[in-house]
């Protein structure tokens, strides 16, 4: 999760060099959905896809918010800003989730709200300064909207009917998200010439399909059932660090002083939110005492 999910921002940047951003996302998610669907059918049979219309609708809505809007806008934004800056701004997702909880009249702890204020302070610095580089304002606005859409989708996923099988739910989300991106690409009139697509863009797209949409997600599902949530949740503030380093090493993306400082502020804010919420959940669900012999 650390390396692969953190590297997807670099892979997106390389993919959209010669493949339109929305179309590349459509190709990525529809392909991954079909592959995952075949694997589920072979391993679990048709019963894995048994779901009500409301459950299918819930997964479809989440797919549109996470993938069509969220991931699609990240790809659009990376036409104007570096992959590292995009990853740092996307790191604000846990902060947006706390804001959505406030809207839903859930009262987070004081330390959680403190982490949100700290994190959004870093987001504000990045947004106002562009990380100290020549980043486009439009790219920053687009990626912030992408983060908000991803947060809304994540927030709703635990509050609306969803398929019982998480892998089947993921296949539906990716399929609907891919179809949504296909339609959006057609409406936007994205030009595409197969002859102009470079080998490295094809390789990056294949990496996104196999590693980003299949392997990393499978690892995430496995970790949720096999590792402490406190360990799993650390991806939220490790991914942007990996993305910034890979962008600088592979593409030579500039890493300015203000970008480093603002990025650290965001990471600190997110870490404070994650650690506080982890402690809250630990208090609410204490470990069972061992049964007497």
* pLDDT value of residue 102: 85
What's the Cα-to-Cα distance from 208 to each of 25, 199, 219, 254, rounded to whole Å?
A: 9, 14, 15, 24
CA proximity to 174, closest of 67, 72, 61: 67
Contacts of 30 (CB under 8 A, 6+ apart): 174, 175, 178, 179, 182
For residue range 88-111, list pLDDT tens digits in order: 888 888 888 888 888 888 777 888
* pLDDT value of residue 293: 38
For residue range 212-259, list pLDDT tens digits in order: 999 887 787 677 666 665 566 677 778 888 998 999 999 998 888 888
What's the average pLDDT block by block, 10 residues per block, for the chain (293 residues)? Answer: 90 96 96 94 91 95 94 94 89 84 82 87 82 72 93 87 89 95 96 94 96 85 65 75 91 86 86 75 49 40
Cα(204)–Cα(59) distance, rounded to whole angstroms?
27
* pLDDT value of residue 230: 56
Secondary structure letter of residue 286 according to DSSP: P
Cα(293)–Cα(291) distance, rounded to whole angstroms?
6
For residue range 198-215, list pLDDT tens digits in order: 999 999 999 999 999 998
* pLDDT value of residue 211: 94
- Predicted TM-score of the model (pTM): 0.86
């Amino acid at each position: 999760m650390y390396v692969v999910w953190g590297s997807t921002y670099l892979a997106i940047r390389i993919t959209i060099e010669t493949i339109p951003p929305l179309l590349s996302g459509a190709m990525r998610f529809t392909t991954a959905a079909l592959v995952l669907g075949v694997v589920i059918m072979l391993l679990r049979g048709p019963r894995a896809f048994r779901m009500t219309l409301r459950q299918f609708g819930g997964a479809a809505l989440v797919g549109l918010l996470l993938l069509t809007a969220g991931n699609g806008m990240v790809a659009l934004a990376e036409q104007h800003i570096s992959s590292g800056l995009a990853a740092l701004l996307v790191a604000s997702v846990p902060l947006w989730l706390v804001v959505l909880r406030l809207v839903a009249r859930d009262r987070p702890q004081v330390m959680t709200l403190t982490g949100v204020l700290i994190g959004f302070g870093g987001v504000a610095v990045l947004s106002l300064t562009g990380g100290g580089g020549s980043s486009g304002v439009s790219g920053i606005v687009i990626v912030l909207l992408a983060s908000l859409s991803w947060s809304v989708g994540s927030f709703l996923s635990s509050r609306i009917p969803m398929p019982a099988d998480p892998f089947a739910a993921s296949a539906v989300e990716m399929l609907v998200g891919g179809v949504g991106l296909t339609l959006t690409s057609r409406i936007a009139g994205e030009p595409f010439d197969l002859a102009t697509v470079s080998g490295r863009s094809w390789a990056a797209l294949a990496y996104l399909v196999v590693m980003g949409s299949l392997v990393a997600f499978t690892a995430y599902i496995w970790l949720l059932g096999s590792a402490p949530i406190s360990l799993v949740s650390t991806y939220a503030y490790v991914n942007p660090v990996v993305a910034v380093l890979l962008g600088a090493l592979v593409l030579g993306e500039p890493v300015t002083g203000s970008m480093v400082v603002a990025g650290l502020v965001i990471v600190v804010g997110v870490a404070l939110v994650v650690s506080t919420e982890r402690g809250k959940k630990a208090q609410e669900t204490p470990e069972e005492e061992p049964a007497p012999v």
